[in-house]
Amino acid sequence: MTVSTSRILLASAAALLLAACGNVDSDVVEATDTVMSDAAADVENAAQAAADKVKSAADSYGSGDGMEMSYGSGAMYDGASLTKVLAMQDEAAKARFDARNPAETLEFFGIAPGMAVGDALPGGGWYSKILLPYLGSDGRMVGVNYSDGLWDNFGWPEERVAARKAFPETWPAQAREWTDTDIPIEAYTFETLPQDGSLDAFLFIRALHNLARFEGNGGFMTEAAKNAYGALKPGGVVGVVQHEAPADATDEFSTGSAGYLRRADVVAAFEAAGFKLEASSDINANPMDVPSGDDIVWRLPPSLATSREDAALKAKMEAIGESNRMTLRFRKPA
């Protein structure tokens, strides 16, 4: 299990600080493992421990005010409810909790029950399956896929492209199977996303590289950031988790074709749309992933695309772990 040194230091610092205040026990640094426990007695402890860990990360890497985020509805992050939802995920999803850090990530973004949330490129629903029951009946879920024109850049068979373009019609029924609540569910493309200022938050989780890759063919990255801005309420949040290229990576490497983008380029794209970068975190960082040259992000777990017939290379990629990811929180000015 790969854990960045900085994350260990953050968790340890949080434990020492809180212990000095006399309001936490020595098990606080075991938050991640506790979340995975099926024991009912551990659920509340896991929620508090995850909250402590993310508060420390936010204070160290950003403004920290996201921990008190609320909107007109009064929605606030609910760690206990989220922990229960995470405990209900299947074993394949749980196996990736350490790399994807859903509790810490959603708290950093301030996602709360009752919110209206956009999920960019929900795909097989890894995050949607968490968000739908967590947002609950008072919330609203909006799946957003690429604009139709982007799909034509992949060179796929017509049938495959047609299936992707049918997303606005097919996804709501698919997503309905992932929750037993009656939460409203909608689906759009970035091109058709209503510009009505009705969303509380919009999540771009590993969703930017193809938008950037094909920016020159249709302005897709610009469109996505601009229309996310129009879809959000004043004060609304954009949460980004994206494979991160080294800051000194070449322009050619950082186009998105290898999966990686430079942080400065992502920040520039969202600031150009009107957002303000509010905070960043290393919640999803992995300093062992230092891509260069011909490296593609899919060489790493879970894809292991370049080592399926090379046991030694596969072991090397598994030792690195999943990609190094930037985690950024932007806000639409109130």
| Structure-token match 């897709």, residue found | 220
The pLDDT, as a whole number, for residue 19 is 38
The pLDDT, as a whole number, for residue 74 is 62
Measured in whole angstroms, the distance separating CA 8 from the mean position of its chain's CA atoms is: 20
The pLDDT, as a whole number, for residue 18 is 37
**Residue 48: inside a domain:** no
For the segment 283-294, what is each residue's pLDDT rounded down to a tens digit?
Answer: 999 999 999 889
The pLDDT, as a whole number, for residue 95 is 97
**Residue 17: inside a domain:** no
Question: Strands 276-281 and 325-331, how do they pair?
Answer: antiparallel
How many domains would you assign to the chain? 1
SS3 (DSSP) at 114: coil
Range of the domain at 80: 66-331
SS3 (DSSP) at 20: helix
- How far apart are alpha carbons 60 and 62 in whole angstroms? 6
Edge to edge, the sheet with strand 185-189 lists 185-189, 140-145, 116-120, 199-205, 232-243, 325-331, 276-281
Question: Strands 140-145 and 116-120, how do they pair?
Answer: parallel
Q: What integer best gives the mean pLDDT of the chain? A: 85
With a cut of 50, which residues of the chain have pLDDT below it? 1-73
**Residue 1: inside a domain:** no
* Domain CATH code at residue 164: 3.40.50.150
The pLDDT, as a whole number, for residue 200 is 98
**Residue 31: inside a domain:** no
**Residue 95: inside a domain:** yes
The pLDDT, as a whole number, for residue 262 is 98
The pLDDT, as a whole number, for residue 75 is 79
The pLDDT, as a whole number, for residue 314 is 98
- How far apart are alpha carbons 42 and 140 in whole angstroms? 29
Convert 221-247 to b/e letters by CB count within 10 Å (16 or more is b): bebbbbbbbebbbeebbbbbbbbbbbe
**Residue 26: inside a domain:** no
> Token pair for residue 316?
């090397």
Q: Of 119, 123, 120, which Cα lies nearest the Cα of 141?
A: 119
204 in the Ramachandran plot: left (φ > 0), alpha (ψ -120 to 50) or beta? Answer: beta
**Residue 14: inside a domain:** no
**Residue 240: inside a domain:** yes
